[in-house]
Amino acid sequence: RAKAEGRGTYRVFASDMDEEAEERRVLESDLRQALADDALSLHYQPQVDGASGVLVGFEALVRWTHPTRGQIPPSVFVPLAEETGLIIALGDWVLRAACREAATWAPSLKVAVNLSPRQFQKPDLPETVLAVLAQTGLSPDRLELEVTESVIINDMARAISILRRLKGFGVRISMDDFGTGYASLATLQAFPFDKMKIDRSFVAQLGVDPQAAVIVRAVLSLGRSLRMGVVAEGVETAAQRRFLADEACGEMQGYLFGKPRPIGDYAAMLCLPEHAEDIAPRPARLAR
């Protein structure tokens, strides 16, 4: 009896697995189609100077509206694209679209583009970036590439050499989601990062868990010592902003300043200097 039940259970489990695999195959082919149809889009989220609140640039974040399922979050389809190798085409598309867009903005504004570990396994990544910059006319010092700690883990020597070449063009490199991965202080020092982005999980705990303040202070001090800029992600409240500004955090990004949106929604902010002003709600600043 137990045996029969066991087998039954196994059968159900197996068909669940089949369903899941099938579901992934469908999603993968839909994503391939979306790429072919140019059906992906980018949203842009403001990044501001920590002290003044002045807009300094935007992070480009990829979006996919599935024809029948609606919005699929990048946390679902980016890992899928990573596993299937589609990330190379997706990453190229994102880079090109973001640079083309940023080339139309005021020259003081930068664009940050996320890169996946897989993109680092292609040795021609620097040439791809260079070609996109040339084709779009974006000045290299206006492009920031965001990479996570996992880029380092895979093949450290190769990753360093690729990052060096990119930096040689004048492109900036940020370490994304700092504090959530495996980067040791030694790897931080060995890598030519220009910036660290404090993961939003720490920012969210400011004012909630006293440990978060300790960690954020430590990262800011590390950034100063290593001469890297520090960006705080996920700033949602005036209190978080005040804490970070008091600790001299270089740049901030989060819903307080603006959610990721189609660039048209930010059109009024793209031609500085008329709009070079604090973009956060006024009361937040006066509350200091």
Contact positions vs ligand C2E (CB under 6 A): 45, 61-62, 73-75, 78, 91, 94, 114-116, 146, 176-177, 200, 233-236, 253-255, 260
> What's the min distance (Å) between Cβ of 139 and Mg ion?
21
| Binder among 30, 101, 149, 176 for Mg ion (CB under 5 A) | 176
The interface partner of residue 27, options being ligand C2E, Mg ion, none and the CB cut-off 5 to 8 Å by kind, is: none
Which CB, 53 or 91, lies closer to ligand C2E?
A: 91
The interface partner of residue 187, options being Mg ion, ligand C2E, none and the CB cut-off 5 to 8 Å by kind, is: none
In one-letter notation, the amino acid at residue 202 is: F
The interface partner of residue 94, options being ligand C2E, Mg ion, none and the CB cut-off 5 to 8 Å by kind, is: ligand C2E
Q: What is the DSSP string of 209-222?
A: -HHHHHHHHHHHHH
Restricted to residues 257-286, the positions that interact with Mg ion (CB under 5 A) are: none
| Binder among 92, 101, 144, 146 for Mg ion (CB under 5 A) | 146
Residue 3 CA to residue 263 CA, distance in Å, equals 60
Other Cβ atoms within 10 Å of 217 Cβ, number: 13
Which CB, 105 or 178, lies closer to ligand C2E?
A: 178
For helices 125-136 and 87-102, give the axis angle rounded to 10 degrees.
30
HEC letters along 127-189: HHHHHHHHHHCCCHHHEEEEECCHHHHHCHHHHHHHHHHHHHCCCEEEEEEECCCCCCHHHHH
Which CB, 97 or 270, lies closer to ligand C2E?
A: 97
> What's the min distance (Å) between Cβ of 59 and ligand C2E?
6
Which CB, 187 or 253, lies closer to ligand C2E?
A: 253
CB 62 within 8 A of CB 94: yes
Restricted to residues 228-257, the positions that interact with Mg ion (CB under 5 A) are: 233
> What is the Cα Rg of the chain in Å?
21
First to last CA, the chain: 70
Restricted to residues 195-224, the positions that interact with Mg ion (CB under 5 A) are: none
